[in-house]
Amino acid sequence: MFHKVLVANRGEIAQRIIASAKSLGYRTVAVYSEPDCDAPHVQLADEAVCLGKGVASDSYLNIEKILHAARITRSDAIHPGYGFLSENSDFAQACSEHGLVFIGPDSKAIRLMGSKRAAKEAMLAAKVPCVPGYEGKDQSNTALTDAAEGIGYPIMVKASAGGGGRGMRVVKDSSELESAIKSARSEAFSAFGSDELILEKALTSVRHIEIQIFADTHGNTIHLGERDCSMQRRHQKVIEEAPSPALTPELRESMGQAAISAAKACNYVGAGTVEFLLTAEHDFYFLEMNTRLQVEHPVTELVTNLDLVEWQLRVAAGEKLPLKQDQIKTNGHAIEVRLYAEDPANSFMPQTGTVSLWRPALTDSVSGKDYPGLRVDSGIYEGSQISAHYDPMLAKFIAYGENREQARRRLLRLVQDSHLLGLRDNRSFLSELLQSDTFVSGQATTDFIRDQFTNNPSLASQVIMPDEWGIAALLLCEGALIKHSNLQTTQFIERPIKICCGNYLRTLKISYQNTNKYRLSFENKDPDDSGQSAITIELVDCKDNQLRYIAHAGEKNSVMKTSTFTINRNGDISELWLASNRGNLLFADQTFMVTKNSTTGSNKILASMDGVVVDLLVEKGQTVKCGDVLTVIEAMKMEHPLKAGMDGIVGNILTSPGEQVKGRQLLIELQE
């Protein structure tokens, strides 16, 4: 029995756990790092304790600080969520030793399943089907080489600890084995503190199927059906759904019973997931067991109409499972995708920045009614700072339907119509995946993205259309008036503007024609090679950061469009984020960039915008003249030179190459 639950996590999963705990009458405690002080999970909890700075090792991964937070708030239970310390056996053991209920399995089960080698040995003993391979204690190169020859190529070299694709290598023949072992060992030790490896036969064209299991302290173990997680990129799940389009009722029962056997083999208690690989011939093999709640648990909740976090809390309190196996019923279909702060066109590079606009498309903007079957689990808000300290997952989009196609259509619309501005994300990539013939037909395997999706347009730098350049120019030039004055913009004969977006720099001339209508002439070549030299844009209305307009470029029947945007100042630069189904676009007004790099006569060199110092061309004591380039900042994929505003001698240098700087940050001081 417990009364107050401390949630040792952040973001959407912390909110999710706090909500379920409150619904059962428990008091809740949030923990947070300094950058998360205003996060939704902190506001939702009854109490909150700051753990320290943003670095995870000083906050969400610091066992002593979390135990201290539990002690000073008199919490008697801890829910670890997923990620961070959720599968750390030392943390589970420490909770037990301090008299705290750990809402999850005991440390022995976590430790066993945390080692792929030990877990596989246990599964073989329990007669759970396993991929042929080597899981011996002899970790010498000779033992691994001999085992690989016996298994037959291709093989997988895997870190015994951890997951997420780290410490994992595919080896096609013996010539690749030695280097694969070396690199896998190094990566595994760096990520997990253990360089122990296992080998497995590499299975191709397989599905990734996982079974949700639950067990209580009274000897009851059941499964809640499967999730198909075959759509993956570099061993990371991208789309998850329930049920799997590949399973027959007989296969579902066989895999469910195998998962139950796996759970019983380690005396499991709580929520867990047993993962399998499924071949085209319907042979399945144990992959691993995750001893926590999964990121993708919402799809199971939607098809079973159960609250899995509530079940976790009940089991941890010593109750029996609420339902027996024959009482578990599933209906309909649910699909989930993960929204990440990453740039698909730049090798999925994680993105940082401030969320300037966040609008999940859950409600019809005209009627005000909620769309049916939609769910968004999110830990972000407008103003959220997305840092490099944590995983770049921002939210989960989930849709339920009476059948798979209805769920897919609903999810596609949710992904396409939701808006997140302030940084780049993977929505265009998700949209393309959901529309791919392979996914629509339910035929995706774990190799699909790697083998068939590498040339998709969502993975390339997007072409900026003429009307997007035009809207960007108008908003940067007249944005405040458009936004706040109901389109009553100032009248002028002609106004030049120079704007950049990515690697493109365009100069446009804006000519006012009549009420709310403007002609924009392009002075340099159109990047999309359309040859279009001018476009006329008619503004219709603007409210809530959404601008409706009609672009006229000679068409008889022009189409009215809507653009969602935000405008903010970054140092001396006006920036515009413009939403697009093909990915967010970041424009910057550089009309006065040359004269604003440094103020003439000023002895202070300030960063013109957020960026990275890529070059420092002077040293302290050096004599410089007005106009000399002193340092260079890279931002928005462009280099921006910062010049001396006076003749003088370089005094204090307050930056260095590679430093991330903020707009208006003091970089160099000059002396007369």
What pLDDT, on the 0 to 100 scale, is given for residue 529? 47
Least confident of 88-97, 347-356, 477-486, 529-538: 477-486
- Residue range(s) of every CATH 3.30.470.20 domain in the chain: 207-457
Q: Cα separation of 284 and 87, whole Å?
A: 25
Q: Which residue has the tokens 């009309």?
A: 591
Q: Residues 248-273: what's their mean pLDDT?
A: 98
Is residue 292 annotated as part of the catalytic site, yes or no?
yes
Q: Cα separation of 533 and 389, whole Å?
A: 45
Q: What angle do CA 469, 473, 475 make, to 5 degrees?
A: 115
Q: Cα separation of 188 and 157, whole Å?
A: 11
Query: How do residues 497-535 score in pLDDT, each as one tens digit?
Result: 999 888 788 999 999 888 788 999 998 765 454 557 889
What pLDDT, on the 0 to 100 scale, is given for residue 349? 83
Largest Cα–Cα distance of the chain, in whole Å? 85
Asked whether the beta carbons of 68 and 92 are under 8 A apart, the reply is: no
What pLDDT, on the 0 to 100 scale, is given for residue 164? 67
Residue 266 has pLDDT above 70, yes or no: yes
Residue 551 has pLDDT above 50, yes or no: yes
Q: What's the 3-state SS for 65-118?
A: HHHHHHHHCCCCEEECCCCCCCCCHHHHHHHHHCCCEECCCCHHHHHHHHCHHH
Asked whether the beta carbons of 562 and 544 are under 8 A apart, the reply is: no
By C-alpha distance, which of 136, 163, 167, 137 is closest to 151?
Answer: 136
Query: How do residues 617-638 score in pLDDT, each as one tens digit?
Result: 999 999 999 999 999 987 655 6
- CB neighbours of residue 176 within 10 Å: 16
Backbone angles phi, psi at 196, to 5 degrees: -70, 135
Asked whether the beta carbons of 321 and 220 are under 8 A apart, the reply is: yes
Q: Residues 8-27: what's their mean pLDDT?
A: 98
Q: Cα separation of 348 and 392, whole Å?
A: 11
Residues 6 or more apart whose Cβ sits within 8 Å of residue 446: 206, 207, 208, 230, 232, 277
At 603, is the pLDDT very low, low, confident or very high (cuts 50, 70, 90)?
A: confident
CA distances from 86 to 63, 107, 109, 199, 505 (A): 11, 11, 13, 26, 47
Query: In this structure, is the dihedral angle defined by the CA atoms of residues 277, 280, 282 and 283, taken in order, positive or negative?
Result: negative
What pLDDT, on the 0 to 100 scale, is given for residue 161? 86
- Residue range(s) of every CATH 2.40.50.100 domain in the chain: 597-671
The number of residues in the chain equals: 672
Query: How do residues 455-492 score in pLDDT, each as one tens digit?
Result: 999 998 888 999 999 999 999 987 655 554 555 555 55
Residue 23 has pLDDT above 80, yes or no: yes
Residue 596 has pLDDT above 50, yes or no: no
Q: Cα separation of 491 and 514, whole Å?
A: 8
- Local structure of 517: helix, strand or coil: strand
Q: Cα separation of 255 and 27, whole Å?
A: 38
Asked whether the beta carbons of 467 and 522 are under 8 A apart, the reply is: no
Asked whether the beta carbons of 207 and 277 are under 8 A apart, the reply is: yes
207-457 fold: D-amino Acid Aminotransferase; Chain A, domain 1 (3.30.470)
Query: Among the options 227, 292, 410, 506, which is catalytic?
Result: 292
- Residue range(s) of every CATH 3.40.50.20 domain in the chain: 4-103
Sheet holding 393-401, edge to edge: 284-290, 270-278, 207-215, 221-233, 236-242, 333-340, 393-401, 374-378
Q: Cα separation of 459 and 377, whole Å?
A: 25
Which class is domain 132-201? alpha beta
Give the containing element (helix H, strand E) for 183: helix 177-192
What pLDDT, on the 0 to 100 scale, is given for residue 477? 84
Q: Residues 120-143: what's their mean pLDDT?
A: 93
Across 402-533, where does the E strand assignment appear? 419-421, 495-501, 504-514, 517-522
Backbone angles phi, psi at 67, to 5 degrees: -65, -35
pLDDT cut 70: percent of the chain above it: 93
- No. of H helices and E strands in the chain? 17, 39
Residues 6 or more apart whose Cβ sits within 8 Å of residue 525: none
Residue 599 has pLDDT above 50, yes or no: no
Query: How do residues 222-233 score in pLDDT, each as one tens digit?
Result: 999 999 999 999
Q: Residues 320-335: what's their mean pLDDT?
A: 98
At 167, is the pLDDT very low, low, confident or very high (cuts 50, 70, 90)?
A: confident
Q: Cα separation of 108 and 92, whole Å?
A: 9
Q: Residues 331-358: what's their mean pLDDT?
A: 93
Q: Cα separation of 356 and 486, whole Å?
A: 21
Kind of pairing between the strands at 133-134 and 197-201: antiparallel
Architecture of the structural domain at 597-671: Beta Barrel (2.40)
Backbone angles phi, psi at 405, to 5 degrees: -65, -40
Backbone angles phi, psi at 231, to 5 degrees: -75, 100
Asked whether the beta carbons of 666 and 654 are under 8 A apart, the reply is: yes
Residues 6 or more apart whose Cβ sits within 8 Å of residue 527: 463, 464, 504, 506
Q: Cα separation of 134 and 118, whole Å?
A: 11
What pLDDT, on the 0 to 100 scale, is given for residue 594? 45
CA distances from 335 to 338, 401, 458 (A): 10, 9, 21
> Following CA atoms 14, 16, 20, 25 in sequence, which dihedral angle do they give, to the nearest 10 degrees?
40
At 433, which amino acid appears? L
Asked whether the beta carbons of 431 and 425 are under 8 A apart, the reply is: no
4-103 fold: Rossmann fold (3.40.50)
Q: Is the pTM of this model over 0.75?
A: yes
- CB neighbours of residue 648 within 10 Å: 18
Give the containing element (helix H, strand E) for 577: strand 573-578
Q: Cα separation of 304 and 300, whole Å?
A: 6
Q: Which residue has the higher pLDDT, 119 or 164?
A: 119
pLDDT cut 90: percent of the chain above it: 71
CATH, domain range 466-589: 2.30.31
Asked whether the beta carbons of 89 and 110 are under 8 A apart, the reply is: yes
- Local structure of 264: helix, strand or coil: helix
- CB neighbours of residue 271 within 10 Å: 25
